[in-house]
Amino acid sequence: MTGIRPGELAGPAPDATDAGLQFIGRIRTPWTERADCPRQGRSDGPVCRVVVFAPWVQALDGIERFADLDLIYWLHQARRDLLVQTPRHADGPRGTFALRSPVRPNPLGLSRVQLVRREDAVLHVRGLDCLDGTPLIDIKPNRCAHSA
């Protein structure tokens, strides 16, 4: 792969089929390029959509009781081979596991988002930092429940 910055070190990329995951949905955001994505999601960021695929829609029942959700997603366009990275915001190279970079052996993303509303199979949320079309792996409610 190309795009190695000074001070970075690449290792062998893991085989893309070494784990069995089923994507349960797709995340829709305004960002189509990695350079446009925020470094971390913000509670005052844009409302994004989490589209859950059938047959998983019924698994959303009751989710409206929660103000915050943890979304786990697959960073499908991220490199998987860097052991050491040189982030733009850092003073020098750092090990991949010392960074929140999407470049990692298993490119899992995790965001705590605010649930704005649910419309059937679509969750409207704030706080994401991933590319449009990112595959969704799981949704976990946070302990912070809406009072009813």
The mean per-residue pLDDT over the stretch 12-40 comes to: 82
Name the phi and psi angles at 35, rounded to 5: -65, -25
Q: Residues 85-110: pLDDT tens digits? A: 988 778 889 998 998 888 888 889 99
Q: What average pLDDT does the segment 52-75 reach?
A: 95
Assign a CATH topology to domain 21-83+92-141. Answer: Elongation Factor Tu (Ef-tu); domain 3 (2.40.30)
Question: Hey, where are the domains in the chain?
Answer: 21-83+92-141
Greater pLDDT, 117 or 34: 117
Give 71-138 as a DSSP string.
EEEE-TTS---EEEE--TTSSS-EEGGGS--S-SSS-EEEEEEEEEEEETTEEEEE---S-TTEEEEE
